Amino acid sequence: MQLTHKIALAPTPDQERYFRQASGCARFCWNWALAEWNRQYEAGERPAGPPLKQQFNAIKYQQFPWLAGVHRDAHAQPFAHLARAWSRYFAALRTGACPAPEDRAARRPLRAAGVKLAYPPTFKKKGQTRDSFYVANDKFSLHGADESGGPTIRLPKVGTVRLTEALRFPGKVLGATISRIADRWFIAIQVDVPDHISRRRRAADGIEGVDLGIKAAVTLATGETIRSPKPLTSALRRVRIRGRRVSRKLEAAKRRIGIAKGGRIPKGTRLPVSGKRRQASDRLARIHARVANLRGDFTHKLTTRLCRENQALGIEDLHVAGMLKNHHMARAISDVGFGEIRTQLSYKAARYGTAIVLVDRWYPSSKTCSVCGTKCADLDLGTRIWRCAGCKTPHDRDQNAARNLQRLATETALPVANRTVTDGTLPARALVGGGKVTPVRYESPVGISGREMGRVHNCPRSG
């Protein structure tokens, strides 16, 4: 199983300067490869990643001598990334998607009409894309703590860089990606971990229904509700204040080069960047990073607890992208992180041997009585408590939905659920009456986070 551990770096100013240069080189190579790809494709040729890379290697040090100051891995990997991006684009076209118009305004009515769009790779602009670059597994080495300090990593061109923690996963190191979030640098190390090490033992063998919501992030079939910290809501006032400061400094820079207030910046024009504007942008980025960290901490603790304590989980197959089109609820839904909860449950279930049962999004879990099965067809979103017309049982709509999801998970996954994590653990495949149930595929992509490893996560409980 391939796992990734993301570790914060503590670089010196010179090392941080090199990281920025390497990120710029990776961005430049992507843009060069994309422009050459488009040119060859319009000329009727069949471009591909490896030939483009060979073409670039033949001219790079003659035409772009400044690339010699950056290790070659930084300007070699963008070609592979571009080839994968084009592969995804053409695969989407083969499944019936329509090419996305270049004008972003023209995309909105198509998405609103339910048209599936395929997005081709686009050029990357400094300041509008994430700064990152790749390092091959044979170009760096990890070193443990010694008398002089904590763990370190030795990188090409910059030497030894201090790590804030040691690598948690044993196994074969596949590569690493160095990236920047706000004013901090991180290295994500991909490791191929043996299955007997990557698999985790469950602490219990319960079967639980998980109903996602806004007021309570998760409602369980036991009646327990777990509230989200809602970090964006708590920090929204500061985000707005710092956003306005950046906006004012941006308008001042536009006026300095003769662009009227509210006017658009001509393509290819670079605005002068003052120290105050850079400082304001860094402060805004730091508060956004803090919001993301708080949300990620809650999500990791929640999903680890659910997978560790249960042999089967029933969750709804929510269409989160469609829910975000409701602009009255989009911010609240995003603040809870419905999509990230589903993603983390999917890959952590493979590690704990937990069966994930996806219930069809149109199954009326809130409207169906969990005691007698009677459906309350006229139940609206504003009604939180209702009484069944058949058995007269009062229900909280969220707890009732969680109990129905638990029933479907029990009927579907119980025959194949086991008490220990074994290589033979498989997802359920049976369909249950009353709702379309589909299993989650157990896949472990390279981008799996390792934040749940090496520590015990205690998710807060509330009644």
Identify the pLDDT of residue 53. 94
CA 238 to CA 283: how far, in whole Å? 10
Total-model pTM: 0.82
Indicate if the pLDDT at residue 433 is higher than 70: no
Confidence of residue 366 (pLDDT cuts 50, 70, 90): confident
- Segment 392-426, tens digit of pLDDT: 888 888 898 999 999 988 888 765 443 333 333 33
Identify the pLDDT of residue 124. 93
The whole-chain average pLDDT of the chain stands at: 85
Identify the pLDDT of residue 442. 35
Identify the pLDDT of residue 456. 38
Identify the pLDDT of residue 414. 64
Identify the pLDDT of residue 388. 86
Indicate if the pLDDT at residue 444 is higher than 50: no
Confidence of residue 299 (pLDDT cuts 50, 70, 90): very high
Query: Percent of the chain, pLDDT > 90?
Result: 59
Mean of the pLDDT values across residues 252-274?
Answer: 84
Mean of the pLDDT values across residues 366-376?
Answer: 86
Mean of the pLDDT values across residues 379-404?
Answer: 86
Lowest-confidence pick of 21-25, 242-246, 455-459: 455-459
User: Higher-confidence residue: 363 or 155?
Assistant: 155
Lowest-confidence pick of 38-47, 359-368, 408-417: 408-417
- Segment 159-189, tens digit of pLDDT: 999 999 999 999 999 999 999 999 999 999 9
Identify the pLDDT of residue 415. 52
